[in-house]
């Protein structure tokens, strides 16, 4: 779900910090990145945030 080309919205970045799995889901849908983020967030919250930011900003 892309909004305007490769531009990341501020809402996605805020969600990546507050609710990482939701941000990844809205960006990519249910896929490998989503499940990895769920696991990272449940085990350790900070790596979940970092992973979500990387996915939302299209770094990985």
Q: CB neighbours (10 Å) of residue 5?
A: 5
| pLDDT number for residue 48 | 95
Q: Residue ranges of the domains in the chain?
A: 10-57
pTM over 0.85: no
Q: What is the 8-class DSSP label of residue 8?
A: P
Tell me the C-alpha distance between 18 and 36, whole Å. Answer: 17
User: pLDDT for 18-33, tens place per residue?
Assistant: 999 999 999 999 999 9
Give the pLDDT of residue 59. Answer: 81
Whole-angstrom distance, CA of residue 44 vs CA of residue 32? 18
């Amino acid at each position: 779900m892309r909004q305007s080309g490769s531009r990341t919205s501020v809402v996605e970045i805020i969600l990546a910090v507050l609710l990482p799995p939701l941000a990844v889901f809205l960006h990519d849908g249910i896929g490998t990145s989503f499940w990895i983020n769920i696991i990272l967030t449940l085990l350790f919250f900070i790596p979940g945030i970092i992973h979500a930011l990387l996915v939302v900003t299209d770094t990985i």
